[in-house]
Amino acid sequence: MTEQTFLGIPQHIPFADWFAVQQLHAAYALAVDSMDFDALGTLFSDDAVIDLDMQAPDLPARGRTAVIGALRSRREGAALTGGALRRHIISNLLIRAISGDRIDACVVMQLMETRSEGPKVLQTSMYTDVFKRQGANGHWLFASRSLKRDLAPKTT
Model confidence at 2, in pLDDT bands (50, 70, 90)?
A: very low
CA distance 71 to 54: 12
Please check the confidence at residue 79 and state whether its pLDDT lies above 80.
no
pLDDT grade for 114, boundaries at 50, 70 and 90 = confident
What pLDDT does 46 receive? 94
Mind giving me the DSSP string for the chain? Answer: --GGGGTT--S---HHHHHHHHHHHHHHHHHHHHT-HHHHHTTEEEEEEEE-SS--TT-SEESHHHHHHHHHHHHHHHHTT-S-EEEEEEEEEEEEEEETTEEEEEEEEEEEEEETTEEEEEEEEEEEEEEEEETTTTEEEEEEEEEEE--PPPP-
> Does the pLDDT at position 1 exceed 60?
no
* Cβ pair 45, 53 in contact under 8 A: no
Domain ranges of the chain: 13-149
pLDDT of residue 9: 63
Looking at per-residue pLDDT, the higher value among 136 and 62 belongs to 62
Cα 101 → chain centroid: 19
Q: What is the mean pLDDT of the chain?
A: 86
pLDDT 10s digits, 83-93: 677 889 999 99
At residue 3, the pLDDT reads: 43
Instruction: Report the alpha-carbon distance of residue 132 to residue 47 in Å, rounded.
Output: 11
**pTM, entire model:** 0.85
Q: Between 19 and 2, where is the model more confident?
A: 19
25-75 pLDDT per residue, tens: 999 999 998 889 999 999 999 999 999 888 778 889 999 999 999 998 887
Domain 13-149 has CATH 3.10.450.50: yes
